[in-house]
Protein backbone atom coordinates (compact mmCIF):
# COMPACT_ATOMS: atom_id res chain seq x y z
CA UNK A 1 0.00 0.00 0.00
CA UNK A 2 2.52 2.56 1.07
CA UNK A 3 4.68 1.58 -1.85
CA UNK A 4 1.86 2.46 -4.18
CA UNK A 5 1.29 5.79 -2.51
CA UNK A 6 4.90 6.78 -2.65
CA UNK A 7 5.26 5.82 -6.30
CA UNK A 8 4.39 8.04 -9.27
CA UNK A 9 1.77 10.70 -9.19
CA UNK A 10 -0.81 8.47 -10.80
CA UNK A 11 -1.71 4.83 -10.20
CA UNK A 12 -3.37 2.62 -12.78
CA UNK A 13 -6.30 0.72 -11.41
CA UNK A 14 -8.19 -2.09 -13.06
CA UNK A 15 -11.79 -1.32 -12.27
CA UNK A 16 -14.33 -4.07 -11.73
CA UNK A 17 -17.99 -3.94 -10.96
CA UNK A 18 -19.83 -6.07 -8.43
CA UNK A 19 -23.46 -5.13 -7.97
CA UNK A 20 -23.68 -1.36 -7.78
CA UNK A 21 -20.15 -0.84 -6.46
CA UNK A 22 -17.05 -0.03 -8.47
CA UNK A 23 -13.93 -1.73 -7.11
CA UNK A 24 -10.34 -1.24 -8.17
CA UNK A 25 -7.21 -3.40 -8.08
CA UNK A 26 -3.75 -2.04 -8.98
CA UNK A 27 -3.11 -3.16 -12.55
CA UNK A 28 0.38 -4.34 -11.65
CA UNK A 29 -1.05 -6.97 -9.34
CA UNK A 30 -3.32 -8.56 -11.94
CA UNK A 31 -1.65 -11.47 -13.73
CA UNK A 32 -4.40 -12.11 -16.18
CA UNK A 33 -8.10 -11.55 -16.79
CA UNK A 34 -10.21 -14.54 -17.80
CA UNK A 35 -13.36 -13.54 -19.64
CA UNK A 36 -16.37 -15.45 -18.33
CA UNK A 37 -14.74 -18.87 -17.91
CA UNK A 38 -16.78 -21.89 -16.89
CA UNK A 39 -16.53 -22.43 -13.15
CA UNK A 40 -17.06 -25.70 -11.40
CA UNK A 41 -18.59 -25.83 -7.91
CA UNK A 42 -16.76 -27.58 -5.08
CA UNK A 43 -19.04 -29.22 -2.53
CA UNK A 44 -18.14 -28.62 1.12
CA UNK A 45 -15.78 -25.78 0.22
CA UNK A 46 -15.69 -22.67 2.41
CA UNK A 47 -18.53 -20.24 1.70
CA UNK A 48 -16.37 -17.67 -0.12
CA UNK A 49 -15.05 -20.15 -2.72
CA UNK A 50 -16.58 -19.45 -6.11
CA UNK A 51 -15.49 -22.75 -7.65
CA UNK A 52 -12.75 -24.02 -9.91
CA UNK A 53 -11.70 -22.60 -13.26
CA UNK A 54 -9.31 -23.95 -15.85
CA UNK A 55 -6.23 -21.75 -16.09
CA UNK A 56 -3.20 -22.61 -18.20
CA UNK A 57 -3.37 -26.31 -17.64
CA UNK A 58 -3.88 -25.91 -13.92
CA UNK A 59 -6.97 -25.86 -11.75
CA UNK A 60 -7.54 -22.40 -10.36
CA UNK A 61 -9.34 -21.88 -7.06
CA UNK A 62 -11.53 -18.79 -7.24
CA UNK A 63 -12.87 -16.49 -4.54
CA UNK A 64 -16.26 -14.97 -5.18
CA UNK A 65 -16.47 -11.32 -4.19
CA UNK A 66 -20.24 -11.57 -4.11
CA UNK A 67 -20.14 -14.47 -1.67
CA UNK A 68 -17.55 -12.65 0.43
CA UNK A 69 -19.86 -9.67 0.71
CA UNK A 70 -22.86 -11.98 1.28
CA UNK A 71 -24.57 -10.67 -1.82
CA UNK A 72 -27.05 -12.75 -3.85
CA UNK A 73 -25.55 -14.68 -6.81
CA UNK A 74 -24.87 -12.70 -9.96
CA UNK A 75 -27.10 -14.79 -12.18
CA UNK A 76 -24.90 -14.62 -15.25
CA UNK A 77 -21.34 -15.84 -15.74
CA UNK A 78 -18.63 -13.75 -14.18
CA UNK A 79 -15.12 -12.57 -15.10
CA UNK A 80 -12.06 -13.78 -13.22
CA UNK A 81 -8.98 -11.79 -12.20
CA UNK A 82 -5.93 -13.97 -11.60
CA UNK A 83 -3.55 -13.08 -8.77
CA UNK A 84 -0.52 -14.70 -7.27
CA UNK A 85 -1.14 -15.71 -3.67
CA UNK A 86 0.65 -17.48 -0.84
CA UNK A 87 -0.29 -20.88 -2.16
CA UNK A 88 0.06 -20.33 -5.91
CA UNK A 89 -2.40 -18.59 -8.17
CA UNK A 90 -5.98 -17.81 -7.23
CA UNK A 91 -8.86 -16.14 -9.02
CA UNK A 92 -11.33 -13.47 -8.00
CA UNK A 93 -14.83 -13.72 -9.42
CA UNK A 94 -16.41 -10.34 -10.23
CA UNK A 95 -19.54 -9.39 -12.17
CA UNK A 96 -17.58 -7.64 -14.87
CA UNK A 97 -14.15 -6.19 -15.53
CA UNK A 98 -14.31 -2.69 -16.96
CA UNK A 99 -11.78 -0.04 -18.01
CA UNK A 100 -8.43 0.89 -16.50
CA UNK A 101 -8.65 4.12 -14.48
CA UNK A 102 -5.82 6.35 -13.32
CA UNK A 103 -6.11 7.65 -9.79
CA UNK A 104 -3.95 9.93 -7.74
CA UNK A 105 -2.69 9.07 -4.23
CA UNK A 106 -3.99 12.46 -3.16
CA UNK A 107 -7.55 11.22 -3.64
CA UNK A 108 -7.08 8.21 -1.35
CA UNK A 109 -8.83 7.86 1.98
CA UNK A 110 -8.96 4.95 4.46
CA UNK A 111 -12.07 2.91 5.27
CA UNK A 112 -14.80 4.96 6.98
CA UNK A 113 -15.41 3.96 10.58
CA UNK A 114 -19.08 3.32 9.83
CA UNK A 115 -18.27 0.42 7.50
CA UNK A 116 -19.09 -3.03 8.95
CA UNK A 117 -16.18 -5.04 10.32
CA UNK A 118 -16.25 -7.66 7.62
CA UNK A 119 -15.90 -5.06 4.87
CA UNK A 120 -13.30 -3.15 6.83
CA UNK A 121 -11.16 -6.27 6.83
CA UNK A 122 -11.63 -6.84 3.11
CA UNK A 123 -11.34 -3.32 1.68
CA UNK A 124 -8.13 -1.33 1.64
CA UNK A 125 -9.72 2.12 1.40
CA UNK A 126 -11.26 4.24 -1.33
CA UNK A 127 -10.32 6.67 -4.08
CA UNK A 128 -12.52 9.67 -4.70
CA UNK A 129 -13.32 9.86 -8.39
CA UNK A 130 -15.04 12.77 -10.05
CA UNK A 131 -18.31 10.89 -10.39
CA UNK A 132 -18.17 8.43 -7.50
CA UNK A 133 -16.02 6.21 -5.35
CA UNK A 134 -13.58 3.48 -6.33
CA UNK A 135 -13.22 0.92 -3.52
CA UNK A 136 -9.65 -0.25 -3.34
CA UNK A 137 -9.06 -4.01 -3.11
CA UNK A 138 -5.79 -5.49 -1.96
CA UNK A 139 -5.28 -9.00 -3.44
CA UNK A 140 -3.37 -10.04 -0.32
CA UNK A 141 -6.51 -9.62 1.77
CA UNK A 142 -8.48 -11.78 -0.69
CA UNK A 143 -6.06 -14.69 -0.72
CA UNK A 144 -8.08 -17.86 0.06
CA UNK A 145 -5.43 -18.94 2.57
CA UNK A 146 -5.90 -15.68 4.49
CA UNK A 147 -9.66 -15.75 4.18
CA UNK A 148 -9.73 -19.25 5.67
CA UNK A 149 -7.69 -18.06 8.64
CA UNK A 150 -10.02 -15.10 9.03
CA UNK A 151 -13.07 -17.37 8.98
CA UNK A 152 -11.50 -19.59 11.62
CA UNK A 153 -10.79 -16.64 13.87
CA UNK A 154 -14.28 -15.24 13.61
CA UNK A 155 -15.83 -18.67 14.14
64 binds other proteins (CB under 8 A): no
Q: Residue 96's closest CA among 13, 11, 14, 12?
A: 14
For the CB of residue 80, give the shortest distance to other proteins in the complex, in Å. 14
77 binds other proteins (CB under 8 A): no
For the CB of residue 88, give the shortest distance to other proteins in the complex, in Å. 6
Q: Phi and psi at residue 139, in whole multiples of 5°?
A: -55, -30
59 binds other proteins (CB under 8 A): yes
Q: Which of 15, 61, 64, 126 binds other proteins (CB under 8 A)?
A: 61
For the CB of residue 54, give the shortest distance to other proteins in the complex, in Å. 6
Between 43 and 75, CB nearer to other proteins: 43
CA distance 106 to 7: 12
Binding mask 31-50 for other proteins (x = CB under 8 A): -------x-xxxxxxx--x-
Q: Residue 145's closest CA among 90, 64, 65?
A: 90
Q: Under the rule (CB under 8 A), what is the footprint of other proteins? A: 38, 40-46, 49, 52, 54, 57-59, 61, 87-88, 90, 144-145, 147-148
Amino acid sequence: MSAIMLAEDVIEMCSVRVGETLFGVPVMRVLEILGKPATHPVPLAPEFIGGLAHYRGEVLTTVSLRRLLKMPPCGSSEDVLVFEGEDGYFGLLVDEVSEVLTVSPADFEGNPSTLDDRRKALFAGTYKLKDGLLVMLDPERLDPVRLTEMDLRSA
